[in-house]
Structure 1
Amino acid sequence: MEICKGTKPDHRKFNMAQTCLSCLKYLMFSFNLIFWLGGCGVLGVGIWLAVTQGDFATISPSYPFLSVANVLIAAGTIIMVVGFLGCLGAIKENRCLLLSFFIILLIIFTLELTGIFIFISGRDLIDKYAHRDLTKGMRLYSTEGNAGLTKAWDIVQTDFRCCGVENYTDWFTAFGEDKVPDSCCLEYGKGCGATLSKTNFQEGCYMKVMDVLEQYLLVVGIFGLCIASIQVLGMAFAMVMYCQLRKESSKYY
């Protein structure tokens, strides 16, 4: 009788530990399932853009692969892989998968922090490089094999009502003559860019785009914090579950 009484607390502790582990397991599975589904959505949008906007490319000649479609496809794939690792590690209670999930998330989180630090500390250098790269890309406008870049410039100039990088005269150097693309015209018309007048957009696109981005800086910041919070939660869930599984397995050795 005394032995039975002595084992009851241990039995209750064991049941409590199992219940906590089970709750954590399904919580992490649900978390990563949502994460994985989000990755599917991002990947789907990326593929859709690649199919429907196949000739649309970045305006940067140095990084032509950095189109919106390619970035979304890459991001969606990474999210899906990470989410799958988390789901599988949780449902299988596999410490190796959980640790892999934690390490991958930690690497991504570290890279994001590094990128933010580089962007903030080297803003002037980034601006200088971007100006040079965009100006270089202007020389490829309407040339053979650069339909995507040409379309990208036309869309940016039309949507932001701007012309060139700094101002419309940037195109003079790019074309080697005093004219601008037709997308610089206030009222679009075939060949309207060849006749310079006050009806052309005067302001450069770089500052216009940057001004718009700065207007949404708060939204971007909140979105970034949400992403960071999700990543930290994911790492916390993975590490807690990993430690719990390790603790449970140590009881049998």
Structure 2
Amino acid sequence: MYSGAMPQLWAVQGTLRQDRGSRSFLPFMGFWRGAKQEADGMSVSQKCLCCVKYLMFVFNLIFWLGGCGLFGVGAWLSFTQAEFSSLPLSFPSLSAANLLLVAGSITMVTGFLGCLGALKEQRCLLAMFFVILLLLVLTEVTLVVVIRVFHEKMDSNAQAELKDGMKIYTSEPGLKKSWDNVQRMFKCCGVSNTTDWYEVLNGTLPPSCCSVGMDKCDTGWTEPCYEKAKQWLLENIPSVLVFGVCIGVVQILALIFSIQMYCQILYAEKSLD
């Protein structure tokens, strides 16, 4: 009696152990089984739409992260240049900081809109994303071309604006502090020459044009502050330029995927009708 019952008991216990072991994998098995069944039940157009959907989401996520990076660099520049905040925005590092802050903000909003449009599969959101991104790309290209072609004229206009701002050096404490900080940090004097101060201070130079501790400044540093600030900016921002090129490539791919997904959704809606 016992000899016949024991193998059956062992078989039941083995089955229970297998059930307990397999039960821990049930969530994963169910997930993959459900995903496979869903994929098997899709038509070719639905599979294409699903593929484009997740590719677009990934690229827009990268795009959004790139916007965060641009905004972060702009915030870092603004923080490091806080001592110059009273200077006109044409000062090289300040203008670059503001440009990066604006570009980063727009990129983050556009990337978020693209991610939302991809997940929701709404043609309205995708069309809005495509138009905004296309305008952003065209603006960036135009800005690069304008800076490349008219950089000398822009430099001369910026220097003229800075020189006009120097005229209130003695009457505006905030501007005075900013100019003194710039000249001490970069060891420079004036916008384009030390003689820029002669009209403002009756033929003399401010103490910040010389080494700290000197009561009277006769000669001062000879390098112009505008060029020194530009040099500092170019030395600290080449990685941002490479980063910008990568973001540009992602933008082009996002445009392609958005129009592709729009067409796939439109085709799917027509096929349902």
Which of 212, 218, 222 matches 1:188? 212
Residue 240, structure 1, aligned to residue 260, structure 2: yes
Query: Partners of 2:158 and 2:74 in 1: how far apart?
Result: 24
1:62 Cα shift? 7.3
Which of 74, 77, 95 matches 2:105? 77
The number of aligned residues is 233
Query: Partners of 2:266 and 2:74 in 1: how far apart?
Result: 39
TM score, norm. by length of structure 1:
0.75
Identity of counterpart residues, as a percentage? 44
Query: Partners of 2:151 and 2:90 in 1: how far apart?
Result: 19
Query: Partners of 2:75 and 2:240 in 1: how far apart?
Result: 24
Pick closer, same or farther for the CA change 1:52–1:169 going to 2, 3 Å.
closer
Query: Partners of 2:111 and 2:239 in 1: how far apart?
Result: 25
Over aligned residue pairs, what C-alpha RMSD do you find? 3.4
Give the conservation status (yes or no) of the 8 Å contact 2:89–2:95.
no
Compare relative contact order (CA 8 Å, sep 6+) and give the higher one, 1 or 2: 2
**Paired residue type of 1:231:** Q
Query: Partners of 2:128 and 2:238 in 1: how far apart?
Result: 33
Residue 16, structure 1, aligned to residue 56, structure 2: no
- Report the equivalent of 1:3: none
Structural mapping, 1:35-54, within 5 Å: 35-40=63-68, 42-43=70-71
Query: Partners of 2:188 and 2:154 in 1: how far apart?
Result: 21
Of stretches 70-79 and 214-223 in structure 1, the one that deviates more from structure 2 is: 214-223
Give the conservation status (yes or no) of the 8 Å contact 2:59–2:250.
no
1:31 Cα shift? 2.3
- Report the equivalent of 2:125: 97
Higher helix share: 2
Larger Rg: 2
Structural mapping, 1:156-235, within 5 Å: 156-180=182-206, 182-185=207-210, 187-189=211-213, 192=214, 194-197=216-219, 200-212=220-232, 219=239, 221-235=241-255
**Structure 2: 5+ residue stretches without partners:** 1-38
Pick closer, same or farther for the CA change 1:179–1:216 going to 2, 3 Å.
closer
- Report the equivalent of 2:61: 33
Query: Partners of 2:169 and 2:270 in 1: how far apart?
Result: 65
Query: Partners of 1:117 and 1:48 in 2: how far apart?
Result: 26
Give the conservation status (yes or no) of the 8 Å contact 1:57–1:67.
no
- Report the equivalent of 2:180: 154
**Paired residue type of 1:173:** E
